[in-house]
Amino acid sequence: MGSVNMDLVVRGPRIPVPGETILGESLSEYPGGKGANQAVAAARAGGPVAMVGCVGDDAFGRSLRASLDQAGVVTTRLAVRGARSGVALIEVAASGENSIVVVPGANALVTHADAEDALAALPRAEILLLQLEIPIEAVEGAAAAAKRRDIRVLLDPAPACPLSDRLLSTVDFLTPNQQEAALLTGMPAVGVADAPEAARRLLARGVGMVLVKLGAEGVLIASAEGMEHLPGHAVATVDTTAAGDCLAGALAAALVAGRSPRDAVAFANAAAALSTTRQGAQTSMPTLDEIERFRAATHG
Residues forming the active site: 245
| 130-146 as b/e: b if 16+ CB within 10 A | bbbbbbeebbbbbbbbb
Q: Residue 31, SS3?
A: strand
Cα angle value 138/250/281 (rounded, 5°):
75
Q: Which amino acid is at 243?
A: A
Q: Give just the sign of the alpha carbon dihedral 173, 292, 275, 106.
A: negative
Q: Which amino acid is at 168?
A: L
Say what angle helices 34-44 and 243-256 make with each other, to 10 degrees. 50
Q: Could you tell me which residues come within 8 angstroms of residue 291 by beta carbon, excluding any fewer than 6 positions away?
A: 45, 250, 267, 270, 271, 274
DSSP per residue, 259-297: --HHHHHHHHHHHHHHHTTSSSSGGGPPPHHHHHHHHHH
Q: Where are the beta strands (DSSP E) in 164-286?
A: 173-174, 209-213, 219-223, 226-230
